[in-house]
């Protein structure tokens, strides 16, 4: 059979295609794909109470979260080599832990409602140094770029700067020129100035070396809750109690950008490591992400289950950790945005239970459930489990880190002592303990709570609740 030119060309094409297919097949057969690279999960679970703040280490491999459960947790990126299976738990505060920062040298600092600043060794999880406060809560902390200084925002109407490089570390300056609580502090990009945000409405600038007040840059009249220095070093991102969010020029004091306001107080801010994105979170549950140069609104996310207390971008700036009333830290994929992102949370939260016919259960949910469970294992709450509490000596649950005041107390928990606790308050019944003040003025409410607790904590009772949150969600 005689082949024409067209037939010869077609044959060459077929042979070329066949050879290509064989080559790709051999290539596919010889390429053995490795395991998929692990990444941050969509939810980090380990706290036993609402999460107050989140911050990412500059390398992007570790996340520090602080909680109402009196603990700070250090989470490691699952893709990091030799990452531990569980978060490192930092236990040392005697009240809710409000904020934290990483330091160089594998260290961190945290602050809390106990008024203290704690310096941690992250290699061992041990406490290196405790700076005792003056009794009022400390809401925020920041560290200088070289990790030499730490500054705290105190409700003593002051900011304090500590020198972490001295031996031993020491208090350096007290900035007490505020007329209200100090809610946030932020170092300048060169570490030479400190900016403070106060409930008196003012944003102030201090000299770090001398502790001198340089000036009040602006006063909004409403309390300023949160503050971030933008990467250009010339501007501040701020959030106010009336929901106002904006950008302030440090030197002129002018608002260069007025951003869409939150309907409730602004509670958190974040700036990505590359300086390209910024975010705000409010008491309205709204998170907004902006281009940090133009401040064009890029994305908006609504958490319908409560306020946003903590925000932190991942290292690539494409995702955002956020935290609030829920016991976990969530991860939102900002870019590319998922078409639908359902939140896997329980609502109402255990302390929001109201639809129950048992008034004692309702009081437990409101007064006790944030800190205590009713289950044998007890979880990771701020207080010990109440399982089997009746007949137990105060401070007598093995393995729980009680305060010295409770360890030294000498009485038994029973109907009377528990009722007295809510009648007079822990500051009277267990003075010096870390128990938050919770009182019930009505004897009917106290009797109902005691009756519920006696029934729900009895190991022999068939009605003992076994739900992880202490009470069944209604």
Structure confidence by residue, pLDDT tens digits, 263-307: 999 999 999 999 999 999 999 999 999 999 999 999 999 887 789
* pLDDT score at 349: 57
CA 373-378-380 angle, to 5 degrees, is 95
As a whole number, mean pLDDT of residues 310-320 equals: 95
Cβ neighbours of residue 166 closer than 8 Å, sequence gap 6 or more? none
Per-residue pLDDT at 26 exceeds 60: no
User: Residues 347-360: what's their mean pLDDT?
Assistant: 63
Question: What does pTM read for this prediction?
Answer: 0.77
Q: Which residue has the higher pLDDT, 371 or 280?
A: 280
Other residues' Cβ atoms within 10 Å of the Cβ of residue 440 = 20
pLDDT of residue 341: 62
Confidence of residue 448 (pLDDT cuts 50, 70, 90): confident
**In a 10 Å sphere around its CB, with 0-12 CB exposed, 13-18 middle and 19+ buried, how is residue 357 labelled?**
exposed
Domain ranges of the chain: 43-333, 350-456
* 470 and 362 Cβ atoms separated by less than 8 Å: no
223: pLDDT strictly greater than 50: yes
The whole-number pLDDT of residue 130 equals 97
Percent of the chain with pLDDT over 90: 56
pLDDT band for position 14 (cuts 50, 70, 90):
very low
Choose the weakest-confidence range: 59-73, 164-178, 385-399, 460-474: 460-474
Predicted confidence at residue 22, as pLDDT, reads 36
If one counts every other C-beta atom within 10 angstroms of the C-beta of residue 219, the result is 15
Instruction: Tell me the average pLDDT across 88-93.
Output: 94
- Joined together, the tokens standing for residue 214 give 């340089």
Report the half-sphere exposure of 271 (CA within 13 A, side-chain side): 20
Instruction: Write down the pLDDT at residue 440.
Output: 79
- pLDDT reading at 35 higher than 80: no
Portion of the chain with pLDDT greater than 70, in percent: 82
- Is pLDDT above 60 for 7? no
Collapsing DSSP states into helix, strand and coil, what is residue 324? Answer: strand
Q: DSSP secondary structure string, 153-215?
A: EETTTEEEEEESSSSS-EEEEEE---SS-EEEEEE-TTSSEEEEEETTSEEEEEETTT--EEE
pLDDT over 70 (residue 313)? yes
Position 340 pLDDT exceeds 60: no
Of the candidate ranges 32-36, 184-188, 273-277, 359-363, the one whose mean pLDDT is the lowest: 32-36
- Higher pLDDT: 165 or 16? It is 165
DSSP string, 299-314: EEEE-TTS-EEEEEE-
Task: Judge whether residue 170 has pLDDT over 90.
Answer: yes
Superfamily of domain 350-456 in CATH is: Cytochrome c-like domain (1.10.760.10)
Task: Tell me the average pLDDT of the chain.
Answer: 84
Least confident of 52-61, 109-118, 413-422: 413-422
- Find out whether 456 and 363 touch, Cβ atoms under 8 Å: no
With bands split at pLDDT 50, 70 and 90, how would you rate the model's confidence at 385?
A: confident
| Superfamily the domain 43-333 falls into | YVTN repeat-like/Quinoprotein amine dehydrogenase (2.130.10.10)
Average of per-residue pLDDT across 306-313: 95
Q: Give pLDDT, residue 9.
A: 40
């Amino acid at each position: 059979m005689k082949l024409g030119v067209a037939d010869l060309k077609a044959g060459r094409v077929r042979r070329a295609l066949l050879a290509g297919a064989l080559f790709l097949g051999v290539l596919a057969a010889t390429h053995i794909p490795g395991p998929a690279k692990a990444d941050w999960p969509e939810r980090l679970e380990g706290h036993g109470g609402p999460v107050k703040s989140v911050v990412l280490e500059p390398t992007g491999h570790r996340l520090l979260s602080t909680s109402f459960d009196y603990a700070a947790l250090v989470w490691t990126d699952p893709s990091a080599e030799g990452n531990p299976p569980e978060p490192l738990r930092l236990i040392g505060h005697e009240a809710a832990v409000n904020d934290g920062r990483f330091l160089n040298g594998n260290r961190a600092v945290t602050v809390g409602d106990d008024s203290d600043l704690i310096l941690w060794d992250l290699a061992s999880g041990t406490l290196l140094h405790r700076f005792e406060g003056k009794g009022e809560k400390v809401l925020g902390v920041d560290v200088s770029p070289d990790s030499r200084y730490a500054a705290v925002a105190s409700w003593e109407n002051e900011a304090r700067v500590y020198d972490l490089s001295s031996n031993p570390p020491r208090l350096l300056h007290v900035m007490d020129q505020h007329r209200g609580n100090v809610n946030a502090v932020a170092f300048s990009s060169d570490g030479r100035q400190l900016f403070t945000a106060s409930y008196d409405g003012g944003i102030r600038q201090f000299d770090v070396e001398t502790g001198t007040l340089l000036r009040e840059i602006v006063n909004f009249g409403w309390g300023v809750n949160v503050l971030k220095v933008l990467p250009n070093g010339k501007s501040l991102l701020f959030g106010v109690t009336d929901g106002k969010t904006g950008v302030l020029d440090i030197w002129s004091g002018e608002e260069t950008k007025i951003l869409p306001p939150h309907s409730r107080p602004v509670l958190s801010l974040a700036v990505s490591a590359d300086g390209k994105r910024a975010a705000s979170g409010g008491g309205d549950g709204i998170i907004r992400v902006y281009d940090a140069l133009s401040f064009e609104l890029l994305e908006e996310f609504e958490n319908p289950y409560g306020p946003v207390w903590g925000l932190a971008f991942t290292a690539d700036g494409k995702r955002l950790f956020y935290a609030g009333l829920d016991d976990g830290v969530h991860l939102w994929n900002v870019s590319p945005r998922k078409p639908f992102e359902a939140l896997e949370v329980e609502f109402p939260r255990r302390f929001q239970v109201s639809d129950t016919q048992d008034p004692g259960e309702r009081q437990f949910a409101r007064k006790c459930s944030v800190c205590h469970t009713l289950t044998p294992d007890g979880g990771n709450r701020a207080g010990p489990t109440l399982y089997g509490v009746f007949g137990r000596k105060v401070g007598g649950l093995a393995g729980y880190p009680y305060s010295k005041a409770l360890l030294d107390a000498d009485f038994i928990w029973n109907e009377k002592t528990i009722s007295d606790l809510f009648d007079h308050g822990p500051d009277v019944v267990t003075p010096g303990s870390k128990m938050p003040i919770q009182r019930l003025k009505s004897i009917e409410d106290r009797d109902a709570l005691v009756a519920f607790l006696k029934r729900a904590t009895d190991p022999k009772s068939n009605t003992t609740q076994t739900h992880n949150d202490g009470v069944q969600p209604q």
